[in-house]
Amino acid sequence: MQCSKPRWERRKDARPQELLGAAIDLFVERGFAATRLEDVARQAGVSKGTLYLYYTNKEELFKAVVRESIVPVIGEAEVSINEFDGHSGDLLRTVMLNWWRRVGQSKVSGISKLIMAEASNFPELAKFYQEEVITRGTRMISSMLERGVARGEFRDIDVTQMTQVLIAPMMMLITWKHSAVAPCDCAELQPQAFLDAFLDMALHGLLPPKR
């Protein structure tokens, strides 16, 4: 189980990773349109031309970043939901806090923000992201709500709308985190406090009426 490849060949295999790493950094920092491929190449230590050997254009590079960074997180969450068997409120809280740790706190969250910001100027990206991320993520939240309602742990809510209600603050948190403007006089967002406040309210509001 050794790695007998010579140095430069290992490097060749590593190229896509290095490029994706540079790409995510810059996309997150500047957005899709404002990121220059020359900067991506330079940061990855290769030439502009090389970048085009691996990704046919800017959009394909971006898609690769999404596949690399976000899609796997969703897969893992789907699995953990299927395996969980406690109270649905706990499940919801766990999944959402986990998502915050894996996505919200990492630079990956910048990709989500960027998509919200720029997707309308790049329809191809919008379509891709919708299919690969949004739809699957939404279905995941909905399934937890349905589980809670079915098990009598949640009120009888409008699942479609409540799904969006639950997603919205998480996405907004991300947006604020990456956006130069935010609704707080203080210099820093306090995401954890925000999440606590939100989940507290939300789970409180989802509980079925006491008999």
Partner DNA sequence: GATGAATGAGCATTCATTCAT
Partner DNA sequence: GATGAATGAATGCTCATTCAT
By C-beta, is 92 or 115 nearer to its own copies? Answer: 115
CB contact set of 67 (below 8 Å; sequence gap of 6+): 132
Q: What does 73 interact with, of DNA, its own copies, none (CB < 5 to 8 A by kind)?
A: none
Q: In the range 127-186, which residues lie near its own copies by CB under 8 A?
A: 129-130, 134-135, 137-138, 141, 157-158, 160-165, 167-169, 171-173, 175-176, 178-186
90 contributes a contact to its own copies by CB under 8 A: no
Choose one: 11-19, 131-139, 179-187, 198-206; the region binding DNA (CB under 7 A). Answer: 11-19
Residues 17-56, mask of contacts with its own copies (x by CB under 8 A): ------------xxx-xx----------------------
Of 139, 1, 187, the closest CA to residue 147 belongs to: 139
Torsion-angle region of 114 (φ positive above 0: left; ψ -120 to 50: alpha; else: beta): alpha
One-letter amino acid identity for 39?
Answer: D
The nearest distance, CB 129 to its own copies, in angstroms, is 5
Q: Are 145 and 62 in contact (CB under 8 A)?
A: no
**46 contact choice in DNA, its own copies, none (CB below 5 to 8 Å, kind-dependent):** DNA
Is residue 65 within 8 Å of 27, Cβ to Cβ?
A: yes
Is residue 3 near its own copies by the rule CB under 8 A? no
**Tokens found for residue 75:** 């897969």
CA distance 138 to 165: 11
Residue 197 interacts with, from its own copies, DNA, none (CB under 5-8 Å by kind) = its own copies
